[in-house]
A = this chain, B = another copy of it.
Amino acid sequence: MLAERARAASHGLALATRAQKDRALEAMADALCTHEDAILAANAEDVARAEDGGAPPNIVDRLRLTPERLAGMAQGLREVAGLPDPVGEVVRGSTLANGLELRQVRVPFGVVGMIYEARPNVTADAAGICLKSGNAVLLRGSSSASASNAAIVAALRSAVADAGLESDVVQLVPADSRDTVKELMRARGLVDVLIPRGGAGLIRSVVEESTVPVIETGVGNCHVYVDRAADLDKALAIVVNAKTQRTSVCNAAESLLVHADVADAFLPRVVAALQDAGVTVHGDAAFQALDGVVPATDEDYAEEYLSLDISAAVVPDLEAAIRHIRRYSSQHTEAIVTEDLAAARHFTAAVDSAAVLVNASTRFTDGGEFGFGAEIGISTQKLHARGPMGLPEMTSTKYVVTGDGHVR
């Protein structure tokens, strides 16, 4: 039902001009401000329910909206209005030998389903990115944020209608039962793509059960490899930044590999710096020679901690580092620290991850850092989009071919 209304509304949105869509985005931003009281009151309900239910402080914090956070959401919508419209972009084109004019043009998917966890800001962000890319969106947030999401979507829908587009291009899917997720996953033909954002369990279940095509996002067991030819000062700064600058995000480093030739020089420094920052190092035998390092198991090397923990191992050479990464990585982001061009070239060619960095923190794998302006998630799959997904990644293409009575 919701999906059918989204499909019907998507036809008009696909033909909307950039000017119409940008007007709607500005109206959506304004509406978040004019509906501030209602949204914050609804959010207070969600926060009270979470606290009554004993939710941990970090979860409550992710759920909580403030006037500043709401203003940030509005600002995000205005920034999306300022980005180029991906729809209509000619990806390639040529005139064929027989005179046919061929153009491959970006078009919206049609209907996008977002399935995500607590943060209510995702509701506005996803609605804005989908609208700008010409897609109707079905938003299936967490039940813990249901009052907040309802208030936000009510504001956005009224703004969309005021701006002259169909309000059904933005719809909230009830979060009262898991059945609504199942319906989205079975809505083949009505929903064109599902994007799950959240923990590994959520993403795995959507990937396995959905008959609608899925774009996997965000699980990051990211590695930093410190090569024999590393500048150890840069290595130290990069490891500490990648692990500690923000621990709860998918591009935080979770595992450290160090070439044996620099282990004696680097291990004491890096372990001390990590421990000073509050990090527990789960290491192999070489690391365990240092005070406070706890033994790493196979599970540690496979773990996305999202906390002040890091797994660590010494490797005999570059090839061993690549093999370790091949075995344990979630193919999100890996970094090498080296001054050796051949090592950098081989690592970037042989490591099969969405982003491979040389002498830079894994934290740079991000749509904002990459200059994309807006990001709906970071794809860790190989089909369609890989890495940070901006507006162009929210489109498909079609071929438009113009002739003058051409037959074969």
On A, residues with C-beta under 8 Å from B are 11, 14-15, 94, 96-97, 100, 102, 104, 107, 109-110, 188, 192-193, 207-208, 211, 213, 215, 231, 233-234, 237-238, 241-242, 245, 326, 344, 348-350, 352-361, 363-365, 369-371, 381-384, 386-388, 396-408
Contacts and interface: CB of A to CB of B under 8 A. Distances in A.
Contacts of A96: 369-371
14 contacts: A15-B350, A94-B371, A96-B370, A97-B371, A102-B370, A207-B211, A356-B399, A357-B400, A358-B401, A359-B404, A360-B403, A360-B407, A361-B406, A383-B396
A15 B349 contact: yes
In the complex, the count of this chain's copies comes to 2
A241 B403 contact: no
Contact of A363 (B233, B365, B408): B408
B398 A361 contact: no
B386 A352 contact: no
Contacts of A364: 100, 401, 403, 406, 408
B406 A360 contact: yes
A404 B355 contact: no
A276 to B, nearest CB: 16
Nearest to A216: B213
B408 A238 contact: no
A262 B335 CA distance: 65
Contacts of A102: 370-371
